[in-house]
Structure formats: C-alpha cells, structure tokens
Amino acid sequence: MKTIDELLADGVAGKRVFVRADLNVPLDGTTITDDGRIRAVLPTVKALAEAGARVVVASHLGRPKGAPDPAFSLAPAAARIGELLGADVRFATDTVGDSAKATVADLADGQVAVIENLRFNAGETAKDDAERGAFADQLAALADVYVGDGFGAVHRKHASVYDLPAKLPHYAGYLIATEVGVLKKLTEDVQRPYTVILGGAKVSDKLAVIDELLGKADRLLIGGGMAYTFLKAKGYEVGISLLQEDQIPVVTEYMARAEKSGVELVLPVDVLVSKNFPDLKTKAPADFETVDADKIPADQEGLDIGPKSRELFASKIADAETVFWNGPVGVAEHPDYAGGTAAVARALLNCDGFTVVGGGDSAAAVRNLGFEENAFGHISTGGGASLEYLEGKTLPGLAALEN
C-alpha cells in the first residue's frame, strides 16, 4: 500500500485530504476519559497540516442508529485535537450536509476540520452496497485525497473505510503503517519464545484467535472471565463466575490440541472470589477472598487472578522474545480486582522481548493504571482489528488501501 510519505513527497499544499481516523474514545458525558486514539492519529494530521493540506478528519463514535444523537457527538474529540495541536480546529455539525460542505470550503491551507460522527448517516454502516457507495460518493465530494489512519475500524466493511478509498487516490497514514508492521512481527517474523496472554469476558470472542495461535504461539496464558470456561472444562467448580457452557466442548478440544502440539496453555491456579459483583461506578471497597482455582465456592464469583497466578504468568512472560496481550485478566475497572492486570503489565515492562498490548480494554487498563505507554513495545489502537488480523482474516480497510 502507498504511504503518507509518498503523498507528502508529491506535495499536498492546497489539497483537501480526507483522514479516516478512529476517534472512538470513551466519554463521561462530554469529558474524554482516555484520549489515546486521538493522540495516535496526531502525527498524520500534523504532518499533513504542516505540509499545507486542508485536512478533513472523520470518524465514528459509539453505535448511534444511523441518525444524529448528541450523546455520540465528535465535538469533544474535535476540541481535544485542537488542544493537542495548539491550533483552531473547525467542527462541522453534520457529515455531508450544508455544515460539512461550508466548513471544508472555508478551510485555508494548513487548517484542520472535523466532521460529525459518520454513523449519524445510515449509509456508513449499511449492508447494501449501493447505499454504502452513495454515502461514500458524498464523502468523496469533500476531498481530493484519502488517507486511511483509523486502524480500530479497518475490520469493518463501512463506507468511509472500504468504499471511499476506491473513489480517491488513497494512502495509509502513519498509524496504520505502524500497526501493520507490528502485526507482521506477530505473524510472519516471530521471535521466540512467543507468549500470548488473552483475557476479557467471553471465551467465544477469542475462539478464532485461539484456534489460529495454537499453531503459532509457544505459550498461551488465559485469564479474565473467559478463564472460567476453561476451568469448568477441566472439571472444576466455578461457582457463579462468568461461564459459557456451550463453549466447553470447543475449549476441551483446544486444550487437547495444545497438549498434542506442544503449546503450553496456562490457566489461573488461584483466583479472587466474592459473592457480590463490585460497584464499578463508585468503586466502593469490595469483599473478597483468595482461593485455589479448583476450590471456588459454589456461591461465589471469580473476579481476578490471584497472587500465585500473577507470579506464574510473570514467569511465562519473563524470557519471551515476543509477547502479545489482549484483554484484562480481571475486573480491572475496580481497584480491588485490578491487581492481576497490573501484574501482567509489569511483567511486560520487565520483559526484554518485543511487547504488544493489543488495544481495546487492555490498552485502556494500561493507561488507567498509570503505566507509561512508551515503556511497551507497542500499544495498539484496535483490539478487534488486531485479533482479526491474527486470526488470518482479510481486513476490508487494509484491502481497500492495498488495492
């Protein structure tokens, strides 16, 4: 795929450059609680603006139902981009309507505008090719060149990600180029030992990537809510912990495959349990005890990996040459159940190998727990996109940029 460096070399002064970013940031009302995705696209936006381009930044946020919804406005993201750039950033209150057209038309060389949430238009996510294409045509009218830099959305066959690049000269931004380079190190040029840590709530969300990694990873560490389906498959009592009973046959098969292929599949050996799910809003102190993983009481729920598991996981990370981590290993939103996730993060920091935090909740947890981002090899901006790439799937947004 062509990169932004090639675009800049050809000259962009005076050109309208449409940057498909990923500004899907968490909000508390209108307050951004984690601006990592905004900061990730800044190098591309800044380089284009400094070269004299008229930069039009577009993104989705949340899941509005194809119509305007103030709760999902990109206005806070536009304001934050302006703060980080130290420049005035215009904001269009629609996607392809009068406000967007006027805002883009008024841009001077080197100025930046953000248009409203793309998902306020049903054409962005339409299953119908013609409807999606028609919206892409309207977006194309706002620009001369397309730069794809929203890695967190490249696994979606959406108008601004998949259809629009075909209608304009198109290039990959700095973020996408970096993300793809990292993923190739995890799939094509892997340094071993290769340790993968998977967490999160549902094992069903990770089955495809586990299936693929059983032929590639040396060690597979399982934590989070998904671990309890594995523990149940071993015949353990898991109490009222998160459990997908319908996935037990698949999990049982995966454990047998791992043993047969020599992949070390590591499960928690102790867990923090409680009768009451923690209050995530006020983060009030929680009641819990630590028990061995095969001794979870029938009336209690596993909410984090325990001290022995943290040491075990750290030992499996310590000598790795490549580490990929996706998903918290406990309810990291609550301080009493964030210890396991923090322990995994520290283990990555202490590892001399190439470490990748695979986006989504694990990336947010790293930042929220106060770890320095530049201490890791890479923190991805796209959890779902990273997983689908590791599964071996073709990502529509990348395919569109390569075409």
Q: Let me know if 15 is a catalytic residue.
A: no
> Quick one: tokens of 299?
């009336």
CA 123 centroid distance within chain:
24
Distance CA 231, CA 240 (A): 13
DSSP 3-state of 316: helix
> Quick one: tokens of 162?
């998949």
Q: Let me know if 202 is a catalytic residue.
A: yes
Q: Are 357 and 328 in contact (CB under 8 A)?
A: no
Q: Are 19 and 56 in contact (CB under 8 A)?
A: yes
CA 361, 372, 330: angle at the middle one, nearest 5?
35
DSSP 3-state of 113: strand
Distance CA 2, CA 399 (A): 12
Which is nearest to 115 in space by CA: 135, 98, 136, 93? 93
Q: Let me know if 80 is a catalytic residue.
A: no
Distance CA 112, CA 78 (A): 10
Q: Are 186 and 354 in contact (CB under 8 A)?
A: no
Query: Which of these is catalytic: 202, 257, 308, 367?
Result: 202
Which is nearest to 332 in space by CA: 278, 268, 267? 278
Distance CA 270, CA 255 (A): 19
Q: Where do we find the tokens 């028990």?
A: 291
Query: Which of these is catalytic: 225, 327, 360, 383?
Result: 360
Which is nearest to 205 in space by CA: 390, 397, 398, 356? 390
Distance CA 157, CA 400 (A): 10
Which is nearest to 238 in space by CA: 200, 267, 207? 267
Query: Which of these is catalytic: 150, 239, 330, 384?
Result: 384
Query: Which of these is catalytic: 37, 90, 119, 206?
Result: 37
Q: Let me know if 306 is a catalytic residue.
A: no
Q: Are 118 and 95 in contact (CB under 8 A)?
A: yes
Distance CA 171, CA 131 (A): 24
As annotated, the active-site residues are: 37, 202, 360, 384
